[in-house]
A and B are shown apart, each in its own frame.
Chain A
Amino acid sequence: MALTVLYFARLRETLGVAREEIAPAHDLSSVAGLLDHLRSRGGAWQAALAPSQPFRVAVNQDMADALTALRDGDEVALFPPVTGG
């Protein structure tokens, strides 16, 4: 199971990465599983993706949440609350 994970705006700057491919032997069947995996990296990852942080998640370019299921090849995006308009 491989996922593409994208980071935008402040989150991209804080984590120092814009895009990565993830294929670990972890439970990645849902957004919650992916977030647990990313938080387990510790440091800025744990802080920026803490449940209390107001970040948003999109899966395959649609707004999603922790319960959203993930499939092989999905594109997951993590970003701060949007500020367009």
Chain B
Amino acid sequence: MTVRVQEADFDLSSEIAALRQGRPDIGAIAAFIGLVRDMNAGEAVAGLTLEHYPAMTQKALEAIVAQAKQQWKIDAVRVIHRVGRLRPSDQIVLVAVASSHRGEAFQACEFIMDYLKTQAPFWKQEQTPAGTRWVEARASDTLAAERWKKT
């Protein structure tokens, strides 16, 4: 499946192996992995809980992948986003894009990640020494997504 939302961890090597299996036309794979950091906005983070809107998440991610496929010539995509409780250094998200050439793979991978950040219904709640807090959306993420509209 192209898009998966799950509590379980994922393995980059096996995901890439599945993505390229039986596809000798693929010449490039770009992959991004997002990790939980132990620090955010000046405070130590002991862990975080990822909430989502189950009925919408899959649909939103598939729509983003469909947009990327319209814009670039890409052959295969894998998006995995974890939900539930995570700890520092845990993997949160994987975006892997396969194409004939690297340019399309790099760009589509970054586009999917930028749109995921602003369009997919996930919310992070962090556990810090001062208690739990919801992570604030960042203006820089909105700008990152908007720059794709100018080209």
Which residues of A are in contact with B by a Cβ distance under 8 Å?
A: 6, 8-10, 54, 58, 61-63, 75, 77, 79-85
Contacts and interface: CB of A to CB of B under 8 A. Distances in A.
A80 B53 CA distance: 12
B120 A84 contact: yes
A9 to B, nearest CB: 4
B130 interface: no
A79 B123 contact: yes
Interface of B: 34, 50-53, 55-56, 59-60, 81, 92-93, 113, 116-125, 134-137
B122 A83 contact: yes
A10 B135 CA distance: 10
Given A9-B134, A58-B121, A80-B137, A85 B55 contact: no
A82 B120 contact: yes
B53 A54 contact: no
B134 A82 contact: no
Contacts of B120: 82, 84-85
A77 B56 contact: yes
Given A8-B51, A9-B125, A84 B116 contact: yes
Nearest to A79: B121
Nearest to A63: B119
A8 B50 CA distance: 12
A77 B134 CA distance: 18
A54 B120 CA distance: 16
21 contacts: A8-B53, A9-B51, A9-B125, A54-B137, A58-B56, A61-B55, A61-B59, A61-B60, A77-B56, A77-B121, A79-B123, A81-B118, A82-B118, A82-B119, A83-B122, A83-B136, A84-B81, A84-B93, A84-B116, A85-B93, A85-B113
